[in-house]
Structure 1
Amino acid sequence: MRAAALMQTPHRVLRSLRKRVGRRGVFLLILGIGKTCWGISFIVDPPAADGLQLLTSLCSLRHWAWLWIVVGLVTAGSAFLRIGRDWAGFVAALIPPTVWAIAYLAAAVSGEYSRGAFVALWYLTSHVGVIMWAATVPEHSVPPVPRRPGKGNAA
Structure 2
Amino acid sequence: MSCRAVRRLQATLGRRGTFLLIIGVGKTCWGVSFLVNPPRPDGLQLLTRVCSLHHWSWLWIGAGLITAGSAFLRVGRDGYGFYAALLPPSVWATAYLAAAVSGEYSRGAFVALWYLTSHVGVILWAATVPEHSVPPAPRRRKGKGP
TM value normalised by structure 2: 0.92
Residue identity opposite 2:135 in structure 1: P
SS of residue in 2 equivalent to 1:108: helix
Measure the CA separation in 2 of the matches of 1:30 and 1:117: 27
Report the CA distance between 1:10 and its aligned residue.
Answer: 2.3
Q: What does 1:2-21 align with in structure 2 at a 5 Å threshold? A: 9-21=1-13
Q: Which sections of structure 2, spanning at least 5 residues, go unmatched?
A: 142-146
Q: Is 1:101 paired with 2:93?
A: yes
Match of 2:107 in 1: 115
Residue identity opposite 2:112 in structure 1: A
Residue identity opposite 2:10 in structure 1: R
Aligned residue pairs total 142
Name the structure, 1 or 2, with higher relative contact order (CA <8 Å, separation 6+). Answer: 2
Larger mean Cα displacement after TM superposition, 12-21 or 56-65: 12-21
Q: Which sections of structure 1, spanning at least 5 residues, go unmatched?
A: 1-8, 151-155
SS of residue in 2 equivalent to 1:75: helix
Q: Is 1:23 paired with 2:15?
A: yes
Measure the CA separation in 2 of the matches of 1:59 and 1:71: 18
Report the CA distance between 1:144 and its aligned residue.
Answer: 2.4
Q: Decide which structure has the larger Cα Rg and report it.
A: 1
Report the CA distance between 1:11 and its aligned residue.
Answer: 1.8
Q: Is 1:42 paired with 2:30?
A: no
Match of 2:144 in 1: none
Task: List per-residue Cα deviations over 1:76-123 (Å, max 9, x = no partner).
Answer: 000000000000000010000000000000000011101000000000
Residue identity opposite 1:69 in structure 2: I
SS of residue in 2 equivalent to 1:113: coil
Q: Is 1:32 paired with 2:36?
A: no
C-alpha RMSD of the superposition:
1.7
Q: Is 1:75 paired with 2:62?
A: no
Measure the CA separation in 1 of the matches of 2:140 and 2:2: 33
Residue identity opposite 2:69 in structure 1: G
Report the CA distance between 1:143 and its aligned residue.
Answer: 4.5
TM value normalised by structure 1: 0.87
Identity percentage over the alignment? 72
Residue identity opposite 2:73 in structure 1: L
